[in-house]
């Protein structure tokens, strides 16, 4: 982040925002144990490509399992540390992880709220922008649910990509996001950082 000519802060970094469950790992539902964590095909190559292009890699993940009382924030952090270690072993790097532990109707105690950090709200994206000096318009988001895409669009992320294994015919409507069937299909977006 640098100061502009008039003294205001300007953002300059591009980022690759990744949802976790369904993008980094197979979504078996409330994954919180190493034994249940299966990496999605192509994720290490994708993150490695972002690293090589000086693109900051940021995970943004709803973790309602914490809010519902299925596992603790401590368990989430332990799994996250292990996950990041697996990327390092594969010569790839996740730079930052943001998570939202809340659920608007099923959360217990303080976790029961419609928090702005929870996708489809853009809170985690704005937090990353503010913390790290990210240019959201020059960034990419990959998610496997429309709530991910909605968060990216609300934050002004320049390129939003929905990872879905189902082939769908979108010829009847104009989409404001891209669809890919596998993670390797996102590599051209990384190299160009343009949609």
Summarised one tens digit per residue, pLDDT across range 100-137 is 999 999 999 999 999 999 999 999 999 999 999 999 99
pLDDT of residue 192: 80
* Distances 148 to 61, 82, 106, 154, 171 between C-alpha atoms, Å: 9, 24, 20, 10, 22
Residue 15: pLDDT over 50: yes
pLDDT of residue 94: 98
DSSP structural state of residue 148: H
In CATH terms, the fold of domain 11-192 is: Rossmann fold (3.40.50)
Residue 5: pLDDT over 50: no
The model's pTM: 0.90
> What CA–CA distance (Å, rounded) separates 41 from 46?
10
pLDDT of residue 195: 46
> What CA–CA distance (Å, rounded) separates 125 from 130?
9
- Which residue is catalytic, options 19, 95, 144, 148? 19
- The alpha carbon dihedral of 97, 98, 101, 105 has a sign of negative
Where does the pLDDT of residue 138 fall: very low under 50, low under 70, confident under 90, or very high at 90 and above?
A: very high
Pinpoint the alpha helices (H) of 23-162: 43-52, 64-67, 73-89, 123-132, 146-155
> What CA–CA distance (Å, rounded) separates 56 from 42?
18
- Which residue is catalytic, options 21, 95, 144, 148? 21
Summarised one tens digit per residue, pLDDT across range 20-63 is 999 999 999 999 999 999 999 999 999 999 999 999 999 999 99
Q: Domain spans of the chain?
A: 11-192
27 catalytic residue (yes or no): no
> What CA–CA distance (Å, rounded) separates 109 from 70?
13
């Amino acid at each position: 982040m640098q100061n502009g000519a008039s003294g205001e802060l300007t953002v300059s970094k591009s980022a690759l925002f990744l949802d976790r469950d369904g993008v980094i790992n197979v979504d078996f539902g409330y994954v919180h144990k190493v034994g249940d964590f299966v990496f999605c095909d192509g994720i290490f190559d994708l993150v490695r490509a972002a690293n090589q292009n000086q693109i900051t890699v940021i995970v943004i993940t709803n973790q309602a399992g914490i809010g519902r009382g299925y596992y603790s924030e401590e368990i989430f952090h332990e799994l996250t540390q292990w996950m990041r270690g697996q990327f390092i072993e594969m010569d790839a790097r996740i730079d930052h992880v943001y998570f939202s532990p809340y659920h608007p109707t099923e959360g217990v105690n303080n976790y029961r709220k419609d928090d702005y950090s929870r996708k489809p709200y853009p809170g985690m994206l704005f937090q990353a922008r503010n913390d790290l000096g990210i240019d959201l318009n020059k960034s990419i988001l990959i998610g496997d649910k429309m709530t991910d895409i909605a968060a990216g669009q609300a934050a002004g992320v320049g390129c939003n990509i929905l990872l879905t294994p189902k082939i769908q015919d979108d010829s009847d409507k104009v989409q404001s996001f891209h669809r890919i069937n596998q993670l390797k299909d996102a590599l051209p977006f990384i190299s160009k950082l343009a949609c």
